[in-house]
Structure 1
Amino acid sequence: MIKSLIYIVFATLVIFSCSDRSPSEPFDPSDDNGIVPLTDTEMMDLTQRGTFKYFWDFANTNSGAAKERYHPKNPTLNQNVVTTGGTGFGLMAILVGIERGYVTREEGVARLNKILVFLENANRFHGAWSHWVDGDTGNVIPFSTKDNGGDLVETAFLSQGLICVKEYLKNGSDSEKALANKADALWKGVEWNWYTQNQNALFWHWSPDYGFEINLRLKGYNETMIAYVLAAASPDYSISKTVYEEGWANNGAIVSSASQYGFPLVLKHAGGSNFGGPLFFSHYSFLGLNPKNLTDQYGNYWNLAVNHTKINRQYCIVNPNNYVDYGEDCWGLTASYSRNIDGSIGYSAHSPSNDIGVISPTAAISSIPYTPSESLKVMHFLYQKKDKLLGVAGFYDAFSPQNNYWVADAYLAIDQGPQIIMIENHRTGLLWNLFMQNTDVKNGLNKLGFSY
């Protein structure tokens, strides 16, 4: 019933918006399925509003924080599993929702306060939150046996959102200023330098039972760059530049001279592929951290992100496996739900080196700052198949044209969040502007030798 009502709402919006479409706005004129195309603006509006619902309508009831995943056909499944990184994305999504008028400022601030109070009382491990948290109790939910403590990367994604909240509210009413101070204090309580093990690198996990036994070093290029930036930015628990140089950049060995389809890779991607890793590598760290004009001794991060996206897209156009519908309208390989060989649903970090015929809508959509027209073309393609691909919280997480349009009719917080955020960064730069104006962030970037 809920899904049907949402479709009716979407259809109503299309009917009213089509009547005053600007002739100057491009749109896909195809109407193969009898579905009236949207303008580019309408397409972005629909996608942002849909993905916002994930963090507003389908958030964990007790905490207001983001659920790890949501299955519309089984809404109570794992309903108490809150994801730390996805909650950080959710904080940023709520700011977009306020700006776009999806909720009032008062409603948005109330929800932000609810989430921050929850985070304030949740389990922390030398300041870091765990990957999963019980939304009812605030207690850690182990991600695996030894991963039952602090997760520095998820904490970095959350901190990125906290900093944006701080900047958004810092000049508001007295209650908003108090909430801004709470957000500021929360991220500043992370003991980033503890997670070095007194070595020149950051490490992903620490457990009260197993210590640093997982021993996973944060080494780029992947999604972990934001952890080094925030660790350097921390006023009380900062790392040295050497930790970044020897940890993230592997003493300079991170630099790549490889290229694909004429696009320089710029940096070596974790996993070793010269076609680039999953596209989330160029999304998660750059939701707040603006890659435009961002350079250091190792490379230009805008060129890196743009080329990474274009290589991924071109690979799908070349389509070496001859998968159905791959091409200019249908591309984008990243981590998402997946279809196993036996037909069961799994999870996989799709990329050109791990291409099993599964397209993840978040891949192209969240790349819109890097490939605006190319990403919009995919969004229009997805919309023309909305009967299969569009649900109550935006486009579903993954689908496979190769397998008779198998659809993972479910959602993941870390896939929905980058869509609303990166579309907003493309349209107004909202989250980039908030994050980059933060004094501590600037200090951290300066400390590591960035130009921005």
Structure 2
Amino acid sequence: MKIRYSLLLLSLLLGFTQCKSPNVKPDRISNEALMDTVQRRTFNYFWDGAEPNSGLARERIHMDGVYPENDKNVITTGGSGFSIMAVLAGIDRGYVTRAEGLARMERIVSFLEKADRFYGAYPHWWYGDTGKVKPFGQKDNGGDLVETAFLMQGLLAVHQYYINGSAGEQVLAKRIDTLWRDVDWNFYRQNGQNVLYWHWSPEYGWEMNFPVHGYNECLIMYILAAASPTHGVPAAVYHEGWAENGAIVEPHKVEDIELHLRYQGCKAGPLFWAHYSFLGLNPTDLKDKYCTDYFNEMRNLTLINRAYCIRNPKGWKGFGANCWGLTASYSVKGYAAHAPNEQSDYGVISPTAALSSIVYTPEYSLEVMRHLYGMGDKVFGPYGFYDAFSETDNWYPQRYLAIDQGPIAVMIENYRTGLLWKLFMSHPDVQVGLEKLGFK
């Protein structure tokens, strides 16, 4: 798994009343009001905190104003896919007007039409003012198919939201359709292999050499590759590449909870593996020949994460039934993919882990949300809960990452109304792709 250290900017403390500590005691606010408070503030990361030229998601927002490599205006592709869905939910909820929302989406699409692409696939990062690629690493300076899939997941939901709308909305939907059709998923098979490769560079070609096998966060990439009406890959790419001819099936138990799939490099992965592909892809009753129930699989992955934190084998301060959640985030050891095992557990709680799992474990996730809300502005800022903290180390950085904020807002909306699931799953091409791969 590619360690995703997507990170970001901004110091807009311009008198937001939201910056103050919660003025309603956590035991007195209703679940609905609590969810709306968290969703609305997290939405603001992608609305007020967006990179101004593109309208897309800044990789990171640091309230302390300190950024590595002066990258406060760097845009994240995958995080922008999540941001588009979060903004769409905000439009539907009336956080902004429909006209304001359309204007923002038009700015986004105009940027994407001109920004650097590589056989239709976008890079991991861009410079927001120019649309030129910012290398994620020396050789990671071209197309990133996984990040592109996360972006397309969001764009296809927007397409469905606008396709039967006003004349202007329908025009935007058609422009999105062109971007979708331009992605050459077949090219990323590297000379016709039955597997998808993560990266291609105009300078270094395939030297990153990262064929993607499951299970991890990349399921959506294979589904969209099969779904493409212009560059769709055959089903064999999914079965031989992602599923490795059935080797992806590996029944086992962690924390005495059953899992059916093989998780790359570990027995149970970080929780973003239960989130990124399922922001638009609805796991409810979803199955294929390798997994009889994706919702139950992801729910069990969440329950394992919670059970590990309750057991708390390393004795961290604060871990428990109302404070759990291990995933990729900022950390006391830099950016890290925290997971429910002692090697990947640094005593860091990442709020996105439990909160974005609300669709799988609503009661338990709401317990965490309420507990964190009660901690006040130590962990809750103008754009929602800060990325991570450690009570053991008294470490409370006031910093945000787009790829962690996005799933919070999107999954809260999916729990409340299922909006993003309904939109994405209604796209005809998505239905074709799922059928091609044998999903039911």
TM-score category of the 2 structures, normalised to the smaller one: over 0.9
User: SS at 1:280's partner residue?
Assistant: helix
- The one-letter code of the counterpart of 1:5 is G
Task: Decide whether the 8 Å contact of 2:163 with 2:169 is kept in 1.
Answer: yes
1:323 and 1:259 mapped to 2: Cα distance? 24
Deviation at 1:2, TM superposition (A): 5.5
Q: What is the TM-score of this pair, normalised by structure 1?
A: 0.91
2:375 and 2:282 mapped to 1: Cα distance? 33
Task: Decide whether the 8 Å contact of 1:3 with 1:391 is kept in 2.
Answer: no
Deviation at 1:408, TM superposition (A): 2.3
Which of 379, 396, 401 is the aligned partner of 2:391?
401
Runs of 4+ in 1 over 6 A off after TM superposition: none
Which of 137, 152, 155 is the aligned partner of 1:159?
152
Counterpart of 1:444 in structure 2 is 433
Deviation at 1:72, TM superposition (A): 1.5
Counterpart of 2:180 in structure 1 is 187
- The one-letter code of the counterpart of 2:431 is K
Describe how 1:257-276 pairs up with structure 2 within 5 A.
Answer: 257-271=251-265, 273-274=266-267, 276=268
2:387 and 2:410 mapped to 1: Cα distance? 16
Task: Decide whether the 8 Å contact of 1:66 with 1:87 is kept in 2.
Answer: yes
Task: Decide whether the 8 Å contact of 2:43 with 2:86 is kept in 1.
Answer: yes
Deviation at 1:107, TM superposition (A): 0.3
Deviation at 1:411, TM superposition (A): 0.5
User: SS at 2:232's partner residue?
Assistant: coil
**Aligned residue-pair number:** 424
Counterpart of 2:406 in structure 1 is 417
Pick closer, same or farther for the CA change 1:82–1:4 going to 2, 3 Å: closer
- The one-letter code of the counterpart of 2:337 is A
Q: What is the TM-score of this pair, normalised by structure 2?
A: 0.94
Counterpart of 1:6 in structure 2 is 16
Counterpart of 1:219 in structure 2 is 213
Counterpart of 1:204 in structure 2 is 198
User: SS at 2:389's partner residue?
Assistant: strand
1:14 and 1:225 mapped to 2: Cα distance? 41
Task: Decide whether the 8 Å contact of 2:199 with 2:209 is kept in 1.
Answer: yes
Which of 201, 217, 223 is the aligned partner of 1:229?
223
2:339 and 2:256 mapped to 1: Cα distance? 18
Matched, 1:322 2:315: yes
Deviation at 1:416, TM superposition (A): 0.3
Counterpart of 1:108 in structure 2 is 101
2:16 and 2:270 mapped to 1: Cα distance? 31
User: SS at 1:220's partner residue?
Assistant: coil
Deviation at 1:10, TM superposition (A): 6.1
- The one-letter code of the counterpart of 2:233 is I
User: SS at 1:305's partner residue?
Assistant: helix
Deviation at 1:375, TM superposition (A): 0.3
Deviation at 1:387, TM superposition (A): 2.5
Q: Any gaps of 5 or more consecutive residues in structure 2?
A: 1-10
Greater relative CO (CA pairs within 8 A, separation 6+): 2
Deviation at 1:59, TM superposition (A): 0.6
Counterpart of 1:55 in structure 2 is 46
Counterpart of 1:347 in structure 2 is 335
User: SS at 1:243's partner residue?
Assistant: helix
Give a deviation string over 1:199-247, Cα, whole Å, max 9, x none. Answer: 1100000000111111101111111110000000001101111110111
Matched, 1:428 2:421: no
Deviation at 1:251, TM superposition (A): 1.1
How large is the Cα RMSD of the aligned pairs? 1.6
Which of 243, 246, 249 is the aligned partner of 1:249?
243
Deviation at 1:146, TM superposition (A): 0.4
Give a deviation string over 1:183-212, Cα, whole Å, max 9, x none. Answer: 111112100010001111000000001111
1:414 and 1:444 mapped to 2: Cα distance? 25
Give a deviation string over 1:155-210, Cα, whole Å, max 9, x none. Answer: 00000001001000001111100001111111121000100011110000000011
Task: Decide whether the 8 Å contact of 1:14 with 1:38 is kept in 2.
Answer: no
Task: Decide whether the 8 Å contact of 2:189 with 2:197 is kept in 1.
Answer: yes
User: SS at 2:396's partner residue?
Assistant: strand
Q: Any gaps of 5 or more consecutive residues in structure 1?
A: 19-27, 30-36, 341-345
Describe how 1:336-375 pairs up with structure 2 within 5 A.
Answer: 336-340=329-333, 346-353=334-341, 354-375=344-365
Give a deviation string over 1:116-169, Cα, whole Å, max 9, x none. Answer: 100000010000000001111111111000000000000000000010010000
Counterpart of 2:276 in structure 1 is 284
Describe how 1:63-74 pairs up with structure 2 within 5 A.
Answer: 63-74=54-65
User: SS at 1:331's partner residue?
Assistant: coil
Deviation at 1:4, TM superposition (A): 8.0
1:369 and 1:6 mapped to 2: Cα distance? 30
